[in-house]
Structure 1
């Protein structure tokens, strides 16, 4: 069983290079759908989709099954596939049987009936984080294929909640919902020179093999280029320098956000802001990146393996959310592709320190494989609000308690 981390990360990086501004996305949620379509298409569209997937079309269906199964087996990750089709689409049973295991349902063509069913699936599969299925139901939606991806992790070392007044940069003058912690491993911080300029990454480790890497670049760095440049740094190549080496040399000035501070013992002082980021992506805006250019054209059908009715891609969308708090991180994405018929309408020791006090990025990563599950950019963090009298801050584990798994 393989996560195909290299191929998925390449798609994620290509997508990030096309983004502009704040948001969150999941290439891991999109990749299996493109792999299914690649194996089901013919003509130039088959080659374009295979190019986006990074594998031959002949091996893409097996790869899609492997990725969804491997994702679902990861601790803290839920992954699901859904397929719904009208009877008029005449889906071949033999094609459906090759799909990864998942939910299979029928579309009536009535949006008043179909949309609530699709929305309920999105809510259930993401523990309520995604309320609406991103593709719109209606008479022209002959078939929709979707993935739902959700992850949760609790920090190995939690943060303290505190008010943080920022004095410089894009957030100057704001009082943010600050998060701070000190940890002994300075190498949780890493720096590197990239095509997008100097990059600072700080790893925040979860308790179930999932990490979040906070990404900071120069103030004028483009968000998408910066995050794309950070993806290959997760492997820790020769160009990456750890925080311990920086602390020993004292040469911290070139690196975004990095300083040294007085501390009781060597380590890493991390300060950042609590955030919630939500995004809606129209994937057809970047159809060439995802291999969807040809298969969305209305001149002919592109998926003969699915059935005799000529079909083309009409909608391709993703809804995603990411929440970073004092106790942990949770994120979810529902990605859906809709097909329509072509013919139808003071201390002695020193510690390294980093402050994320202006717009920054993040990468949520499966630690062992390096697979990037979610990537995003923060330019609107939460403002500080003091607790009301008698109110208690969220304790570790509360996030898990309030988000039951499906069926509980």
Structure 2
């Protein structure tokens, strides 16, 4: 249930924001679930509607909790670590936590600590995988679309085997290509039609992965009969390498994340008898797709303030998949199906 709910949050975020460059619903969900467990009234109802049950921690995930040094705490609430009361020192400590948990890919917590901060909840997610079959370097010059006529550095891979076409799927007008990585991580590339919006492509990929069917048709796919010494089909993949980075203000989509009442009225009696309201909710995310593998990291943080404180013998099939216009990507935990990181490549 929790994996489905987390993936639903990621899909709705993709649709609402029309395909951010890189983002992680899986990084936000555990924080919302934690708040739901200590909230009351409408704030609890809104949070439970988004995060109804705890999420088993995905690989590469870390969480932290910090509370104001003089904030009264509800019995049974684990304060994690107390803030010192020196905002500058606390900020350095939290930034160091973010850098350590993401291998230096993100060097600062995306929320600021000041003298009014009563609570900080943070998550860090690091995704690192190497391709089972690496790519080689190549070039591409798209003939049409937003990248038309631009010579681009590209990644190229060719695979010939009886099951070579197995990674290629299609669902609701979107081509899906699964790139297998180590450590139980797959990266799914998603290409829609020229007219499709980034949000619709990503939400279709997230929601439709499990019902996608094998197909040699769809956006970006061409099929040829070629001369060959062996009859096994061949899959050729070409795409640009990419780096993506993004900053997100979650309170700009407060209804999506169930934070509307939490930011306005607070009420988290499970933390403190003092009313707390969410004052800041942000995520920083980065991702990189190279010839050898995929790396991504996100840091998500919620801050709250206390209201009271102010070759030629036969024929074979060759299928080529070319990502030569904007496309989406998902990093998926293979065993559970949890979408860890998703994004949209608008510029190569």
Judge conservation of contact 1:315–1:337 (CA < 8 Å) in 2: yes
Give me the whole-angstrom Cα distance separating, in 1, the residues matched to 2:178 and 2:262: 39
More helix by share: 1
Q: Which of 104, 113, 116 is residue 128 of structure 1 equivalent to? A: 104
Deviation at 1:177, TM superposition (A): 2.1
CA deviations over 1:114-139 (Å, ceiling 9, x no partner): 21111111010000111111011111
Give me the whole-angstrom Cα distance separating, in 2, the residues matched to 1:272 and 1:91: 52
What is the TM-score normalised by the length of structure 2?
A: 0.93
Give the 3 Å change call, closer, same or farther, for CA 304–35 of structure 1 in structure 2. Answer: same
Q: 1:334 — aligned with what?
A: 299
Give me the whole-angstrom Cα distance separating, in 1, the residues matched to 2:75 and 2:22: 36
Deviation at 1:156, TM superposition (A): 0.6
What is the TM-score normalised by the length of structure 1?
A: 0.80
Give me the whole-angstrom Cα distance separating, in 2, the residues matched to 1:18 and 1:369: 25
Give runs of ≥4 in structure 1 deviating > 4 Å: none
Give the 3 Å change call, closer, same or farther, for CA 157–301 of structure 1 in structure 2. Answer: closer
Judge conservation of contact 1:109–1:141 (CA < 8 Å) in 2: no
Q: 1:395 — aligned with what?
A: none
Give RMSD over aligned pairs: 1.7
Give runs of aligned pairs for residues 105-124 of structure 1, distance below 5 A. 105-124=81-100
CA deviations over 1:260-286 (Å, ceiling 9, x no partner): 243744121111110011111100011
1:242 aligns with 2:214: yes
Judge conservation of contact 2:262–2:278 (CA < 8 Å) in 1: yes
Judge conservation of contact 1:259–1:353 (CA < 8 Å) in 2: yes
Q: 1:379 — aligned with what?
A: 346
Q: 2:73 — aligned with what?
A: 91
Q: 1:397 — aligned with what?
A: none
Give me the whole-angstrom Cα distance separating, in 2, the residues matched to 1:93 and 1:178: 57
Deviation at 1:206, TM superposition (A): 0.5
- Number of equivalences: 339
Give me the whole-angstrom Cα distance separating, in 2, the residues matched to 1:151 and 1:257: 27
Q: 2:243 — aligned with what?
A: 276
Q: Which of 149, 154, 177 is residue 202 of structure 1 equivalent to? A: 177
Deviation at 1:366, TM superposition (A): 1.1
Unaligned runs of 5+ in 2: none
Give the 3 Å change call, closer, same or farther, for CA 263–279 of structure 1 in structure 2. Answer: farther
Give the number of the structure with larger relative contact order, counting CA–CA contacts within 8 Å between residues 6 or more apart.
2
Give me the whole-angstrom Cα distance separating, in 1, the residues matched to 2:67 and 2:45: 25
Q: 1:393 — aligned with what?
A: none
Deviation at 1:181, TM superposition (A): 0.4
Q: 2:141 — aligned with what?
A: 165
Give me the whole-angstrom Cα distance separating, in 2, the residues matched to 1:46 and 1:207: 39
Q: 2:284 — aligned with what?
A: 319
Give me the whole-angstrom Cα distance separating, in 2, the residues matched to 1:231 and 1:25: 13
Give me the whole-angstrom Cα distance separating, in 2, the residues matched to 1:10 and 1:21: 14
Give the 3 Å change call, closer, same or farther, for CA 120–93 of structure 1 in structure 2. Answer: farther
Q: 2:21 — aligned with what?
A: 23
3-state secondary structure, aligned to 1:18: helix
Give me the whole-angstrom Cα distance separating, in 2, the residues matched to 1:215 and 1:316: 29
Q: Which of 157, 167, 171 is residue 192 of structure 1 equivalent to? A: 171
